[in-house]
Structure 1
């Protein structure tokens, strides 16, 4: 249990709250769900994210070891050994594939596409400042996976929600990268803050979040949700504005509040309003 605690800390298990609600929303919008599907989608999402985060820590070991912000993570300081990280990764991968297989044939086939993105996104910051967009695309698999896992087919309208997730995640990943700007400049790590500077990076992040809001409105419209969902969308917009106000390139002390707290609230708000927008006739 002691070792598992460190492994779960290594992968920031609590951050599953960002992606998991969108798998549930995808499931809800499919209109094909039951307790079995809910459990399997939960297992698939948590295990998939565990694969991605564990591999990220393994792949970024040398970078994390040199970065003052990350040098005390579990792998660089030895609280988790490489062998243990690999065992956990392989176990999580097997669980993910098993859950996808038990959901339906299409979910199983597309699980390998998801794995490709989960495995490769950690490498993108080594050669392109578009890494934030790639991470957003990777996380956008959540609503697609939730829909396919429940319905067994893919509806093109669910891509609007996926695009919301892609631009939302990409936007706050740009803001998050501000805290590593000096290190990234010296160590050849690519990011939008490195390429364009902190001020333009904030503008990029704001643009990403504005685009995300538009895709959220389109999602609500195409799925014919009630006015509660629209109220929720504007509440999300308000939270995004607060997130940007909290991030000051000259003083990044509040960035963890912006990153974890605000984005957690956004996830919780959205699962709530999609439930109300879908299930309540008003």
Structure 2
């Protein structure tokens, strides 16, 4: 078994900071969301849901709500509706499906009247994709009132208050929706462009404690296809660092490797990823 350096040196992000950043990014639009009206008969589900923050920090969702499919009750405007929102985020790896994280929250959802939704969209408050879905035929725009978010990822289960995510948002640089797009694009770029030998050497450095890394989990490799054994995968790219998975023949490990200077800006993300991938050379 390798070893991992769980100490934070300099301005590097901690595991908790990573969890807050990841959960915030997921609520800001990253990942696939669904809404379950669990108090209604038959618990109708909206599977194709756009979501994100308004510029004022409200959590909003937009969906096409067809009464013929989900019933009249689910689309009533102006009345609070108790719902569960589930957001699933997969790794940017194109050849294997890895669930990077999921976020779950119970909330009160209120669909806005179409005119109110149109007025809000006209102010530029909404993320672009949310506004587009809300403007579609049978589109609805809703505001979520939520107190707590539960994040499931490689580190386990992390309960977070909505206030923690708003504090993170207020300390971020730039627009959260734009940061999500930039971060997701950088994640895809690093996966498609990374030299797998460089990735393996970085994972070696994390495993042996030659660079600052947090082991999020390690367990026996009980399943998996032959083409994924003894391979390394990028699970997630965040403004705080990179999360990688090492699928060995005996053990599967997940490491979070933070950026040296702490949380980066979207504009500097790609360069910091390149620096991180080359950091093992100086170890």
TM-score by length of 1: 0.26
Which structure carries more strand by proportion?
Answer: 2
Which structure carries more helix by proportion?
Answer: 1
TM-score by length of 2: 0.26
